[in-house]
Amino acid sequence: ATYDVRCSPVTVEGQGGALLCFEDISAREQAEQIRRDFVANVSHELKTPLTAVLGFIETIRGPAKDDAEARDRFLEIMSREAERMNRLVRDLLSLSRVESDERVRPAERVDLVSLVQSAVLTLRPFADENAVEIIVEGDDAPIFAPGDSDQLTQVFTNLIENGVKYGASGKTVRIEISASEREMAFRGPGIRIDVVDQGEGIDPVHIPRLTERFYRVDGHRSREMGGTGLGLAIVKHIINRHRGRFRIESIPGKGSRFSVMLPVR
Ligand code: ADP
């Protein structure tokens, strides 16, 4: 623990003395450290693509001025790097919006079955590109829960997208939806949605940290797939706001299961 010590002179019954105040500031220090790390991470994540873009601008203006083919290639890379910055800023904005909403109870009544189905529809082309099949199990009957539909869409989009990104080509991402009158997690009616992939899986040592901002098992792989390292942090905040539960299970070499449990009332 870290203590902040303050000393003030006191007089007791004519005798001079000192009063020492110890305050445990470990939690405050820790919060401050997390904030510093976050700022350092954001700066680093933005600086890398920005440096690349600036470098290529110089090359296009100078050595590659008369080389149309090289110019096109560099413009292509610059556009990819700019897209990366764009995704990062988009995710940072989502994260900050979700954090500031966290105390406000979501008020819409959302049909989670059709919400998941629309997320799947949006991601089908991306899955096709990666030769991954998305399967939704369970019937089409609506299951309503109080929620914020944009945010819940983001939860399932992020999870399914990860399943495709870190899944294996030729394999599936399965979505299992089930309603229960007594969901263990909140001793009341709930809905549980699992996103299950058949990818490489995750070593158990990483699992508790996956929802930290910018935590990645393999940074290179994540960036290559267009990841920002913020997806699961956003998911966790949204589920917290919905008073739900989030669980990650994985068997290395076999695949992973991401479970979202939401109260229905
Ligand atoms: P990213 O943008 O890097 O995908 P996320 O916050 O969505 O960030 O995920 C954090 C990390 O968790 C990823 O970098 C990856 O290492 C790991 N991860 C997430 N989903 C899966 C999955 N389905 N299979 C294996 N690893 C995963």
Q: Is 224 in the pocket of ligand 1 (CB under 6 A)?
A: no
For ligand 1, mutation pick of 98, 222, 223 (most atoms within 8 Å of CB):
222
pLDDT at res. 22: 92
pLDDT band of residue 79 (cuts 50, 70, 90) is very high
Alpha carbon of 88 to ligand 1 centroid (Å):
15
Of the given ranges (2-6, 54-58, 124-128, 236-240), which has the lowest mean pLDDT?
A: 2-6
pLDDT at res. 187: 79
Q: Is 211 in the pocket of ligand 1 (CB under 6 A)?
A: no
Alpha-carbon torsion (191, 197, 201, 202), positive or negative: negative
pLDDT band of residue 120 (cuts 50, 70, 90) is very high
Six token digits for residue 195: 């996103």
pLDDT band of residue 85 (cuts 50, 70, 90) is very high
pLDDT band of residue 109 (cuts 50, 70, 90) is very high
pLDDT tens per residue, range 151-177: 999 999 999 999 999 998 999 999 999
Q: Do 225 and 231 contact (CB within 8 A), yes or no?
A: no
Examine the predicted complex and report whether its ipTM is higher than 0.85.
Answer: yes
Which is the closest atom of ligand 1 to the Cα of 213? 6
Q: In percent, how much of the chain has pLDDT > 70?
A: 100
**Mean pLDDT of all residues in the chain?**
93
pLDDT at res. 261: 95
pLDDT at res. 201: 95
pLDDT tens per residue, range 179-230: 888 776 777 899 999 999 999 999 999 999 999 999 999 999 899 888 999 9
pLDDT at res. 2: 85
Q: Is 232 in the pocket of ligand 1 (CB under 6 A)?
A: yes
pLDDT at res. 155: 98
Q: Is 166 in the pocket of ligand 1 (CB under 6 A)?
A: yes
Give the residue whose CA is nearest to atom 20 of ligand 1: 162
- Neighbour count for residue 115 (Cβ, 10 Å): 21
Alpha-carbon torsion (120, 121, 122, 123), positive or negative: positive
pLDDT tens per residue, range 15-29: 999 999 998 988 988
pLDDT band of residue 149 (cuts 50, 70, 90) is very high
Sheet with 255-263, edge to edge strand ranges? 133-137, 172-183, 188-197, 255-263, 245-251
DSSP assignment of 63-127 equals: TTTT-HHHHHHHHHHHHHHHHHHHHHHHHHHHHHHHHHHTTSPP-EEEEHHHHHHHHHHHHHHHH
Q: pTM for the whole thing?
A: 0.88
